């Protein structure tokens, strides 16, 4: 009996995906079997993926982490996107008990005070809901791109997520922002109006600001922290994710 190495499986899949266009990449992944989940933050790149899933009626579950602190514009876009593509975007919310425990320990907006407190907030509002969203999944699709930040410059088309024991696929890894915007314009994809107001990367409202000219796309996320590699914990190495998850 041949034992398939998951890392080698991911590398082989990445090679296949590299030569395909986006629709074919998603179709290939959707046909691999098992539960395939796409997590969308409703950002412009995620909207491109959602548009392809809806247009081609692909058997991919589309989910979002409704953290309880999203911009009103983001919440409105969820409904608009569902209507335009006749799809359902499943909402995964944090547990109220976790929010209450966080507020007791750090204060409701304690994430401004320390990296530890911010990681703990992301753990409650993002990581725990993500774990529920990915329960039973074999493949996780994301909108990660190499051009989003220096920390994501080596993003592969596919990789093995050892922490979650699934294949993680990044079908837009090689797309730059100009290609994203051209696709949106050519296909009438609905996008968050905050993008036009200087917000290329949009997360929770208290933790996101517009960027300044010349700043990287993700400079407006957790802007008060000095670490240029700052992330919420969804897309970090296994060791770092474990630290975040324990907060």
- Containing H/E element for 39? strand 35-39
Of 121, 204, 207, 232, the catalytic one is 232
Catalytic residue at 122? no
Which tens digits make up the pLDDT trace of 101-159? 999 999 999 999 999 999 999 999 999 999 999 999 999 999 999 877 677 778 999 99
- 188 token code pair: 């009438």
pLDDT computed for residue 54 by the predictor: 98
pTM of structure: 0.87
89: phi then psi, degrees, rounded to nearest 5: -105, 110
Which tens digits make up the pLDDT trace of 55-102? 999 999 999 999 999 999 999 999 999 999 999 999 999 999 999 999
What CA–CA distance (Å, rounded) separates 162 from 144?
A: 18
Residue 194 falls inside a structural domain: yes
| 8 Å CB contact between 197 and 204 | no
Helix (H, G, I), strand (E, B) or coil at 156: coil
Residue 216 falls inside a structural domain: yes
Residue 225 falls inside a structural domain: yes
Residues whose CB falls within 8 Å of the CB of residue 149, separated by 6 or more in sequence, listed in order = 216, 217, 218, 228, 229
Residue 1 falls inside a structural domain: no
CATH number at residue 94: 3.40.50.620
């Amino acid at each position: 009996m041949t034992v398939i190495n998951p890392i080698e499986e991911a590398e082989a899949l990445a090679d296949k995906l590299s030569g395909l266009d986006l629709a074919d990449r998603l179709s290939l992944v959707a046909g691999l079997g098992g539960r395939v989940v796409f997590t969308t933050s409703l950002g412009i790149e995620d909207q491109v993926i959602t548009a392809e899933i809806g247009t081609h009626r692909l058997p991919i579950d589309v989910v979002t982490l409704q953290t309880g602190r999203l911009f009103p514009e983001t919440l409105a876009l969820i409904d608009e996107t569902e209507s335009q593509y006749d799809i359902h975007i499943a909402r995964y919310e944090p547990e109220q008990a976790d929010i209450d425990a966080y507020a007791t320990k750090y204060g409701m907006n304690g994430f401004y005070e320390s990296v530890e407190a911010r990681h703990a907030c992301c753990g409650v509002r993002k990581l725990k809901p993500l774990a529920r969203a990915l329960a039973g999944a074999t493949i996780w699709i994301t909108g990660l791109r190499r051009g989003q930040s220096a920390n994501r410059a080596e993003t592969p088309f596919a990789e093995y997520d050892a922490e979650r024991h699934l294949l993680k696929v990044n079908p837009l890894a090689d797309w730059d922002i100009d290609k994203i915007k051209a696709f949106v314009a050519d296909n009438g994809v609905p996008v968050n109006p905050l993008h036009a107001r200087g917000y290329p990367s949009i997360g929770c409202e208290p933790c996101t600001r517009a960027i300044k000219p010349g700043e990287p796309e993700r400079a407006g996320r957790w802007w008060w922290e000095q670490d240029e590699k700052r992330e919420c914990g969804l897309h970090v190495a296994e060791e770092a994710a474990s630290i975040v998850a324990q907060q």
